């Protein structure tokens, strides 16, 4: 699914965000990317989405060569990826239903199929009754559940989340993790950057730890490993 070989990312100001990183992630895995603030987690995620290019090294995502990719191919890469951010990034002028349907319109789905798919992902995140609400009428946890529904509506092979529980209280964070667990059980690969020690220690999934742009640990069924 994801093959990263000898990848480095040096920003224009000279910041070394990733330093010769090698990572392979297979279909169906659930992987936490952990590390302190500034370690390189978001840069790793930006490379997967081709929001940034590596300075050196090779990277394939879903069988596509992200480094050599033409600009026109980028939307096809992104259609295979569901992305979730700490700050939800919903469209404030659109309802819950429209926010999710909008993600489908981009791929020109027929209207009836669109309605069925939106209802089905709203059921998965437990928000069917809120479909007419605007984001401002929802709690943070509910907004993040809408963002997850939007991320999975096109049935992506990989869900990529950058600190998705970063703005949520512990109980709400667990609602989010329960949804990720269910999505992963259905076969979707999950890559989640986080510095939530309790979540990582409790979930016992694969843990890749980054420090100053370097992979310092890669363990199956790991824990967070250290205090922040
Ligand atoms: N757009 C950018 N331009 C310059 N430096 C950046 C940029 N984005 C991130 N960095 C630097 O790269 C390093 C890794 O940042 P980041 O990937 O955001 O880490 P994390 O998500 O783990 O907090 C930090 O030193 C940060 O300051
Ligand atoms: Mg970050």
Per residue in 132-150, pLDDT (tens digit) is 999 999 999 999 999 999 9
Tell me, yes or no, whether 1 and 99 share the same domain: no
Q: SS3 of 74, please? A: helix
Residue 96, pLDDT score: 98
Name the residue at shortest CA distance from atom 4 of ligand 1. Answer: 11
Q: Spell out a b/e string for 66-83, using b for 16 or more CB atoms within 10 Å of the CB, else e.
A: beebeeeeeeebbbbbbb
From the CA of 8, the nearest ligand is 1
**Is residue 228 included in any domain, yes or no?**
yes
Query: Quick one: 14 and 58 in the same domain?
Result: yes
Q: Is 74 in the same domain as 175?
A: yes
Tens-digit pLDDT profile for residues 9-40: 999 999 999 999 999 999 999 999 999 999 99
**Minimum mean pLDDT range among 103-117, 141-155, 167-181:** 103-117
Nearest CA to ligand 1 atom 26: 38
Tell me what pLDDT residue 227 has.
54
pLDDT at position 106: 66
Domain range spanning residue 189?
Answer: 1-80+156-228
Q: Which ligand is nearest to the CA of 51?
A: 1
Q: Are residues 25 and 76 in the same domain?
A: yes
Residues 110, 160, single domain; the answer is: no
The last residue of one of the domains, among 154, 178, 204, is 154
Mutate to test the pocket of ligand 1, among 15, 21, 209, 211 (most ligand atoms within 8 A of CB): 15
Per-residue pLDDT averaged across 68-88, rounded?
94
Q: What is the pLDDT of residues 36-46, one digit of tens each?
A: 999 999 999 99
Per-residue burial over 120-155, b if 16 or more Cβ lie within 10 Å, else e, is ebbebbebeebbebbbeebeebbbbbbbbbbbbbbe
Q: Are residues 69 and 161 in the same domain?
A: yes
Ligand 1, residues at Cβ distance < 6 Å: 11, 13, 15, 17, 35, 37-43
pTM across the whole model: 0.95
Q: How far is the CA of 35 from the centre of ligand 2 (A)?
A: 9
What is the arithmetic mean of pLDDT over 63-78?
Answer: 94
> What is the tally of structural domains in the chain?
2
Residue 191 lies in a domain: yes
Instruction: Please provide the DSSP assignment of 85-147 as one string.
Output: ETT----TTS-HHHHHHHHHHTTT--HHHHHHHHHHHHHHHT-GGGTT--GGGS-HHHHHHHH
Residues 173 and 224 in one domain: yes
User: Considering the domain boundaries, does residue 226 fall inside one?
Assistant: yes
Cα 159 to Cα 57, 59, 81: the distances in Å are 23, 17, 6
User: In the structure, what pLDDT confidence band is assigned to residue 112 with cuts at 50, 70 and 90?
Assistant: confident
Note the ligand closest to the C-alpha atom of 210.
1
Same domain, 132 and 68: no
In-domain check, residue 85: no
Which residue, of 102, 127, 154, is where some domain finishes?
Answer: 154
Q: Is residue 203 part of a domain?
A: yes
């Amino acid at each position: 699914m994801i093959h990263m070989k000898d990848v480095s990312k040096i920003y224009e100001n000279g910041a070394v965000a990733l330093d010769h990183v090698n990572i392979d992630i297979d279909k169906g895995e659930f992987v936490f990317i952990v590390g302190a603030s500034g370690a390189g987690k978001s840069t790793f995620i930006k490379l997967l989405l081709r929001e940034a290019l590596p300075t050196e090294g090779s990277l394939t995502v879903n069988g596509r060569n992200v480094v050599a990719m033409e600009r026109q191919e980028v939307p096809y890469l992104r259609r295979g990826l569901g992305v979730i951010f700490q700050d939800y990034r919903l469209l404030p002028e659109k309802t819950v239903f429209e926010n999710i349907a909008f993600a489908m319109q981009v791929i020109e789905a027929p209207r009836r199929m669109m309605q069925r798919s939106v209802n089905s992902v709203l059921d998965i995140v437990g928000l069917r009754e809120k479909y007419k609400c605007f984001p401002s009428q929802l709690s943070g946890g509910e907004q993040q559940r809408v963002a997850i529904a939007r991320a999975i509506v096109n049935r992506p092979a990989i869900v990529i989340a950058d600190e998705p529980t970063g703005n949520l209280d512990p109980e709400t964070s667990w609602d989010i993790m329960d949804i990720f667990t269910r999505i992963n059980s259905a076969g979707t690969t999950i890559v989640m950057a986080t510095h939530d020690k309790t979540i990582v220690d409790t979930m016992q999934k694969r843990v890749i730890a980054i420090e100053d742009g370097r992979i310092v640990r890669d363990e199956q069924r790991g824990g967070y490993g250290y205090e922040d």
